[in-house]
């Protein structure tokens, strides 16, 4: 299998603290990879590194055969866990989704009928059509999340990176997202997605990566479940996950949970 | 009656002032949209004060003061961006450190001068009525260049202003857009300097856009509304100052402030 995304001995550190070390990974086209692990295990850091937002201190990353920073515009769509945007920004849902097309348009290019159609299609796919004209501040958390996923879909990326898209959304929205993600994967686009929800990994992903700064397990959901690494994480998440008092946006900066707790 | 109202524009200096007011008002308020949305209100003040050093250096070297102001303002803007990115300090802090440094350099150089003939007053408070034909050419050329660049980079700048992290992941040149915006703001300020002066130029970058922010739900309407507020402020202020015998720069800023509070009141009391 040729790799769409290939990591070789990747280490990523914030000053003295290394959030990831010795990560090897190969994700093929048309593959959905789920990434699970305790808080502070480097899940978000891994996605940011593949997106080219962080540079590894050691090791190499190839996305479609090249460095993330050298990719053509519009190759990667990344949906962060927490959107740190100004919710008062003058933009409707449709305006936000339209930004997904911007990376494909040259400076002199026109936002044409094809772009418009793709925007409406993406809004439809996440079930936001009735809210398309609403200002982003008028949305619930789950609706905001869907709007940002629609923006990523409108981009028609060659690689989709989703950071905990199902956190804080209701069951119906989660199922809608799963269908959307599987449709993207069916078109041959690799999807890397972090999640806390271990209940339905078989339905979401082709393979699962259990991460805790290092790769603890990597394989089909069935293989990972059998390996034991999975249940250790599950127990960890269930016993300690809810003890967290507040949300830390800098997940990667955190001390190692097993040291901290 | 009409004759009396148009009377001010019979003078050629008033005609030049009117053209300057139109361009400066539109340019500042449109660039101000990014200033307000990126929460950079401090930058106008900062780059305007920094350009003072350029004016003093130009005066000492006997070169065109606008050139001096432009060079120092652009260098300070690039320095602010560089210190912010490399020094890992907030943009706010970076602006605070560098603009005071440049302003201090201007004062330092001037204080060592014995032949103290530089008319500081006109730089600090501006005088739109003294705009010469040459000044107007500078305003049109530099202002036009900034406008064209802003139009070309419109979509990228919008995405990078709203969501820089995701824009960067999608391959937009966010770092260069940030530097480009700082340089464009530096040039905008230099263009506006003669009309409203160092002390008040920041108001033209912030107040019309802040008023538009109150009322607009989408980006393009905010941009256009901001431009309308900006032009109303500069032209209205210029016109009012003729009849009131007041400082043009101060009158322009007060008109903009009035529009801002009207916008706030309108938003507050608008029926839902």
Put simply, the answer to whether B217 touches A135 (Cβ < 8 Å) is yes
Given A51, A91, A148, which is nearest B219 (Cβ)?
A91
Closest Cα in chain B, distance from residue A69 (Å): 7
Return the residue in B163, B174, B219, B272 with the most chain A beta carbons within 10 A, the one to mutate for interface testing. B163
Q: Are residues A141 and A168 in contact, defined by beta-carbon separation less than 8 angstroms?
A: yes
Closest Cα in chain B, distance from residue A107 (Å): 5
Give the gyration radius of chain A's Cα atoms. 18
Closest residue in A to B219 (Cα–Cα): A90
Cβ under 8 Å to B: A residues 127-166: 135, 148, 151, 155, 157, 161
pLDDT over threshold 80, residue B38: yes
What value does the mean pLDDT take over residues A135-151? 92
Q: Cα–Cα distance between A87 and A140 in angstroms, integer? A: 11
pLDDT of A244: 33
- Between these two residues, A180 and A238, which has the higher pLDDT value? A180
Residue (of B202, B175, B179, B180) closest to B47 by Cα position: B202
Domains and their CATH numbers in chain B: 15-198 (1.10.3470.10)
Strands laid side by side in the A17-27 sheet: A17-27, A5-14, A58-63
pLDDT of B122: 74
Closest Cα in chain B, distance from residue A66 (Å): 13
Q: Tell me the per-residue pLDDT of A98-111, one tens digit each, with 9 for 90 and over.
A: 999 999 998 888 99
pLDDT over threshold 70, residue B104: yes
Say if A64 is an interface residue toward chain B (CB within 8 Å).
no
Return the residue in A51, A81, A82, A99 with the most chain B beta carbons within 10 A, the one to mutate for interface testing. A99
pLDDT of A211: 92
Say if A91 is an interface residue toward chain B (CB within 8 Å).
yes
pLDDT of B17: 92
Closest Cα in chain B, distance from residue A75 (Å): 6
Q: Tell me the per-residue pLDDT of B92-102, one tens digit each, with 9 for 90 and over.
A: 899 999 989 99
Q: Are residues A208 and A43 in contact, defined by beta-carbon separation less than 8 angstroms?
A: no
pLDDT of B66: 87
What value does the mean pLDDT take over residues B120-130? 80
pLDDT over threshold 60, residue A242: no
Contacts of B165 in chain A (CB under 8 A): 53, 78, 80, 84
pLDDT of A238: 47
Neighbour-count burial of A251, counting CB atoms closer than 10 A to its CB (0-12 exposed, 13-18 middle, 19+ buried): buried
Say if A15 is an interface residue toward chain B (CB within 8 Å).
no
Residue (of A53, A68, A36) closest to A209 by Cα position: A36
DSSP A222-234: HHHHHHSHHHHHH
Q: Tell me the per-residue pLDDT of A20-72, one tens digit each, with 9 for 90 and over.
A: 999 999 999 999 999 998 888 999 999 999 999 999 999 999 999 999 999 99
Given A52, A77, A90, which is nearest B216 (Cβ)?
A90
Residues 6+ apart with CB under 8 A from A254: A39, A40, A248, A260
Given B165, B171, B221, which is nearest A74 (Cβ)?
B171
pLDDT over threshold 60, residue A260: no
Put simply, the answer to whether A85 touches B156 (Cβ < 8 Å) is no
Closest Cα in chain A, distance from residue B198 (Å): 29
Q: Write down the mean pLDDT value for chain B.
A: 90
Closest Cα in chain A, distance from residue B128 (Å): 33
Closest residue in B to A67 (Cα–Cα): B171
Put simply, the answer to whether B171 touches A77 (Cβ < 8 Å) is no
Put simply, the answer to whether A99 touches B168 (Cβ < 8 Å) is no
pLDDT of B264: 94
Say if A125 is an interface residue toward chain B (CB within 8 Å).
no
DSSP A16-28: TEEEEEEEEEEE-
pLDDT band at residue A241, thresholds of 50, 70 and 90?
very low
Residue (of A35, A36, A27, A29) closest to A5 by Cα position: A27
Closest Cα in chain A, distance from residue B222 (Å): 7
Put simply, the answer to whether A99 touches B172 (Cβ < 8 Å) is no
Q: Are residues A2 and A159 in contact, defined by beta-carbon separation less than 8 angstroms?
A: no
Contacts of A51 in chain B (CB under 8 A): 168-169
Say if A77 is an interface residue toward chain B (CB within 8 Å).
yes
Percent share of chain A, pLDDT over 70: 87
What value does the mean pLDDT take over residues B84-99? 88
Q: Tell me the per-residue pLDDT of A173-186, one tens digit each, with 9 for 90 and over.
A: 888 899 999 999 99
Residues 6+ apart with CB under 8 A from A123: A93, A94, A97, A129, A132, A150
Put simply, the answer to whether B171 touches A107 (Cβ < 8 Å) is no
Residue (of B46, B92, B35) closest to B210 by Cα position: B35
Contacts of B177 in chain A (CB under 8 A): none
Q: Write down the mean pLDDT value for chain A.
A: 86
Q: Cα–Cα distance between B25 and B23 in angstroms, integer? A: 5
Q: Cα–Cα distance between A80 and A148 in angstroms, integer? A: 9
What value does the mean pLDDT take over residues B99-115? 85
Contacts of B222 in chain A (CB under 8 A): 90
Q: Cα–Cα distance between B251 and A95 in angstroms, integer? A: 37
| CA B60 to chain centroid | 25
pLDDT over threshold 60, residue A239: no
Contacts of A80 in chain B (CB under 8 A): 165-166
Q: Tell me the per-residue pLDDT of B172-209, one tens digit each, with 9 for 90 and over.
A: 999 999 999 999 999 999 999 888 888 888 899 999 99
pLDDT over threshold 90, residue A198: no
Return the residue in A45, A52, A81, A103 with the most chain B beta carbons within 10 A, the one to mutate for interface testing. A103
pLDDT band at residue A258, thresholds of 50, 70 and 90?
very low
Q: Are residues B239 and B254 in contact, defined by beta-carbon separation less than 8 angstroms?
A: no
pLDDT of A254: 38
Put simply, the answer to whether A80 touches B166 (Cβ < 8 Å) is yes
Select the highest-mean-pLDDT range: B20-24, B40-44, B65-69.
B20-24
pLDDT of A253: 40
């Amino acid at each position: 299998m040729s790799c769409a995304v290939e990591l070789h001995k990747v280490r990523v550190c914030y000053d003295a603290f290394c959030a990831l070390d010795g990560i090897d990974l190969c994700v093929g086209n048309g593959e959905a990879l789920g990434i699970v692990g305790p808080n502070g295990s480097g899940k978000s850091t891994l996605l940011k590194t593949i997106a080219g937002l962080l540079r590894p201190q050691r090791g190499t990353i190839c996305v479609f055969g090249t460095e993330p920073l050298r990719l053509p515009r519009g190759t990667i769509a990344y949906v962060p866990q927490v959107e740190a945007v100004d919710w008062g920004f003058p933009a409707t849902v449709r305006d936000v989704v339209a930004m997904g097309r911007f990376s494909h348009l040259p400076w002199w290019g026109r936002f044409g009928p094809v772009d418009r159609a793709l925007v409406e299609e993406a809004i439809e796919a996440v079930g936001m059509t009735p809210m398309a004209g609403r200002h982003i501040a008028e949305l619930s958390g789950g609706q905001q999340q869907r709007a940002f996923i629609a923006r990523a879909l409108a981009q028609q990326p060659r690689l989709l990176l989703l950071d905990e898209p199902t956190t804080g959304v209701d069951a119906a929205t989660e199922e809608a997202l799963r269908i959307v993600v599987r449709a993207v994967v069916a078109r041959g686009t690799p999807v890397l997605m972090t999640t806390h929800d271990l209940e339905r990994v078989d339905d979401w992903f082709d393979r699962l990566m259990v991460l805790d700064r290092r790769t603890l397990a990597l394989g089909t959901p069935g293989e990972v479940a059998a390996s034991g690494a999975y249940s250790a994480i599950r127990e960890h998440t269930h016993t300690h996950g809810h003890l967290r008092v507040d949300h830390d946006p800098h997940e990667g900066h955190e001390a190692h949970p097993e040291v901290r707790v | 009656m009409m004759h009396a109202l148009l009377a001010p524009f019979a003078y050629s200096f008033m005609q030049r002032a009117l053209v300057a007011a139109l361009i400066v008002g539109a340019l500042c308020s449109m660039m101000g949209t990014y200033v307000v949305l990126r929460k950079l209100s401090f930058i106008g003040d900062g780059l305007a004060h920094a350009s003072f050093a350029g004016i003093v250096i130009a005066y000492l070297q006997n070169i065109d003061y606008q050139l001096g102001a432009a060079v120092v303002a652009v260098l300070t803007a690039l320095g602010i961006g560089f210190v912010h990115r490399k020094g890992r300090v907030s943009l706010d802090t970076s602006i605070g450190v560098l603009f005071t440094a440049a302003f201090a350099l201007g004062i330092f150089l001037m204080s060592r001068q014995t032949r103290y003939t530089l008319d500081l007053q006109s730089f600090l408070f501006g005088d739109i009525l003294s705009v010469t034909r040459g000044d107007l050419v500078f305003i049109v050329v530099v202002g036009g260049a900034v406008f064209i660049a802003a139009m070309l980079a419109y979509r990228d700048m919008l995405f990078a202003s709203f969501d820089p992290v995701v824009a960067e992941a999608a391959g937009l040149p966010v770092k260069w857009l940030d530097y480009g915006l700082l340089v464009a703001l530096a040039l905008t300020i230099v263009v506006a300097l003669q009309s409203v002066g160092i002390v008040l130029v920041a108001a033209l970058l912030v107040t019309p856009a802040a008023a538009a922010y109150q009322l607009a739900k989408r980006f393009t309407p905010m941009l256009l509304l901001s431009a309308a507020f900006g032009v109303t402020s500069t032209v209205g202020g210029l016109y009012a100052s003729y009849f009131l015998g007041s400082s043009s720069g101060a009158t322009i800023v007060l008109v903009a402030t009035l529009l801002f509070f009207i916008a706030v009141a309108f938003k507050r009391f608008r029926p839902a």
